[in-house]
Amino acid sequence: MKRRKMVVAAGFCLSFLMGTLMNLLFIPGFEPHGERVHRHRHHENRQQQPDADAPARLHVDELPPVETATVGRLPELQRQIRERLDEVLRYRQRRAHWVGTGPLERRRLMDLEQRGEGATYKGIGKNNNYDQSQPTVSIATKSHREITRESVLGCSSIDNVTNVQYLGSGYTKAVYKATLNSSFSVALKSVDFGGHDMENCVKKYGSSTDCYKLASFKIVKEMTLMERLQHPNILKLYGYCYQDNNDIKDTVTAITELGSPLEMIQLLQTPWEERFRICLSLMRLLHYLAHSPLGSVTLLDFRPRQFVLVGGVLKVTDLDDASVEETPCSPSSPSDCLMEFPARNFTLPCYKDRCEGINEKRNLYNAYRFFFTYLLPHSAPSALRPLLDKIVNSTGELIWGTDETLVHLEKVLDIYRNGHYLKNNTQTHKTEYKRVSDASIAAENYRCWPSYQHDGCLLSVFSIDEAIDVCESHAQCRAFIMTNQSTWTGHQLALFKTGAASMTAAPGRLAYIRLGAAES
């Protein structure tokens, strides 16, 4: 009996070892997290080295048929690939209000005209490639504006990138920061081989090639939408590259504008004017999406991490989960148009077999719960708070749509930009100030909140009178400097001080020194 147990145990151990060996030999491997950056800097694993001047091609329309040798074995995976391909094709074939489908097509047309070629532009067709084989000026000699507005970056552009830095990843994509020719920073987006989507797909279906194809269509969809939807609050697509990598042909890398991620904790500590700018940027984006050339677009994955800041302006960076499909419904079934959120639910009307305005309303309520409720009212000028509270409450109850909300936010901007939020105070100030031209105060800082400077009190003001009001409201303020810097609204930055003992020469600045309290 004892010998029999030993035989059974030995057989179990042997089967376990054999299974482990089979896994090591036949399950596709993934790059360790630390090697992701290496993959973008070096391409030794390419099966086919593309020519340096080969065109970067968004070749959705010339993809091979989805049916492969695994169709009989993996019909579900092939169905998913087919559905994603069809979705991309729908976006590319949908008519827009302009001629062409984006800056890459327009750039191609400009190239043909400059070279005097007789070929005509055929729009989205069977062979929709973007030819970059013509001689071009080195990126190193071009300005930032020329790179972003005129060039279409491709494989040759990222062959020798430097300062590659892994920024993060989501379910599907990994994002890297890279520098082109030591001067121009971009973001590189590619399928994360070790990400959630790839790992789960390979575990379920066992085909890394088909799983990559499924995941890559998210990037292709995002690039397509970046081309079709042209707006200042949508991240710019600079180009793309298809290349062979490891055992997979035609891996795709998107080259986009680089932004900084949103950090909500830090945003809550920034001046109200900057927080308002973010909310206004978001509302302008949502208004555009509600009336876009492709129809009403909803962001199904609407979270702060899907947005970045570029020069203080909010831009959406992830469009792979965007959709223009309006939810179908039946007038006899109100539950068809139920929108469920963690805090509350909404039921929209069914109109012409579609839930009326559901894409727009979903975006708007998400803007309220992730952005407006935190960023709009706090530390705003007192005269603006009633209007800001009304905006927050109306979006939280979905009383307004994007049109009305944007109108009211633009009204807030107009009031603030023109100083109409200031009290019409004709009384003289409590104290007198001595004005000193071309002067600043080196030390004697104090902290205030919220400030543009973490170790001082740097605030934006509409006028000298507002700066005096601020100084008189701070017990420690004895002087302030009107700098020669202004914010995005045109307000001037003023630096408030505890005294003027360290006054120095500073061309273009004005120092105001408090002389003492006036008699009441």
Q: What is the pLDDT of residues 211-263, one digit of tens each?
A: 999 999 999 999 999 999 989 999 999 999 988 776 778 889 999 999 999 98
Q: Which letter, b or e, does each residue of 260-286 get, where b requires 16 or more Cβ atoms within 10 Å of its Cβ? A: eebeeeebeebbbbbbbbbbbbbbbbb
pLDDT for position 512: 95
Q: Which of 142-146, 181-185, 240-244 has the lowest mean pLDDT?
A: 142-146
pLDDT for position 31: 32
pLDDT for position 123: 26
CATH 3.50.4.10 in the chain is located at: 433-514
Element (H, E) at 208: helix 208-228
293 phi and psi angles, rounded to 5 deg: -60, -20
The segment with the largest mean pLDDT, out of 11-20, 77-86, 139-148, 364-373, is: 364-373
**63, pLDDT greater than 60:** no
Instruction: Kindly report, residue by residue over 300-311, the tens digit of the pLDDT.
Output: 999 999 999 999
Amino acid at 312: G
Of the pLDDT bands very low, low, confident and very high (cuts 50, 70, 90), residue 188 is very high
Of the pLDDT bands very low, low, confident and very high (cuts 50, 70, 90), residue 458 is very high
Span 97-124, average pLDDT: 32
In which residue are the tokens 């890394």 written? Answer: 208
Long-range contacts, 346-353 (Cβ 8 Å, 24+)? 346/398, 353/328, 353/329
Of the residues 159, 301, 321, 465, only one is catalytic, namely 301
pLDDT for position 74: 65
Of the pLDDT bands very low, low, confident and very high (cuts 50, 70, 90), residue 95 is low
Instruction: Kindly report, residue by residue over 324-356, the tens digit of the pLDDT.
Output: 988 999 888 888 999 999 988 999 999 889 999
Query: Per 3-state DSSP, what percentage of the chain is helix, strand, and coil (rounded to 5)?
Result: 40, 25, 40
53 an active-site residue? no
Say whether 493 sits in a helix, a strand or coil. strand
pLDDT for position 427: 57
Higher-confidence residue of 442 and 104: namely 442
- Sequence-ordered alpha helix ranges (H) in 338-476: 358-367, 373-375, 385-396, 402-417, 464-473
Instruction: Kindly report, residue by residue over 392-401, the tens digit of the pLDDT.
Output: 999 999 999 9
Of the pLDDT bands very low, low, confident and very high (cuts 50, 70, 90), residue 111 is very low
- Over pLDDT 70: what percentage of the chain? 72
The segment with the largest mean pLDDT, out of 11-15, 142-146, 203-207, is: 203-207
Predicted TM-score of the model (pTM): 0.76
pLDDT for position 92: 82
**80, pLDDT greater than 50:** yes
Span 165-193, average pLDDT: 91
pLDDT for position 480: 96
Q: What CATH number is given for 433-514 in this structure?
A: 3.50.4.10
Tell which residue, 257, 306, 316, 238, has the closest CA to residue 281: 316
The fold of 155-258 is Phosphorylase Kinase; domain 1 (3.30.200)
Say whether 514 sits in a helix, a strand or coil. strand
Q: Which of 82-91, 119-128, 453-462 has the lowest mean pLDDT?
A: 119-128
pLDDT for position 75: 85
Antiparallel, parallel or unpaired: β 237-245 and 173-180: unpaired
Cα 440 to Cα 497: distance, rounded to the nearest angstrom: 10
Amino acid at 100: G
Mean pLDDT of the chain: 77
CATH 3.30.200.20 in the chain is located at: 155-258
pLDDT for position 425: 59
CA 338 to chain centre: 28
pLDDT for position 151: 52
Of the pLDDT bands very low, low, confident and very high (cuts 50, 70, 90), residue 39 is very low
Sheet of 503-517, strands arranged across:
431-441, 503-517, 479-486, 492-497, 457-461
Question: Under 8 Å CB-to-CB from 427, ≥6 apart: which residues?
Answer: none
Of the pLDDT bands very low, low, confident and very high (cuts 50, 70, 90), residue 428 is low
The fold of 261-422 is Transferase(Phosphotransferase); domain 1 (1.10.510)
pLDDT for position 7: 45
Query: In 162-220, which ranges are E strands?
Result: 162-169, 173-180, 184-191
CATH 1.10.510.10 in the chain is located at: 261-422
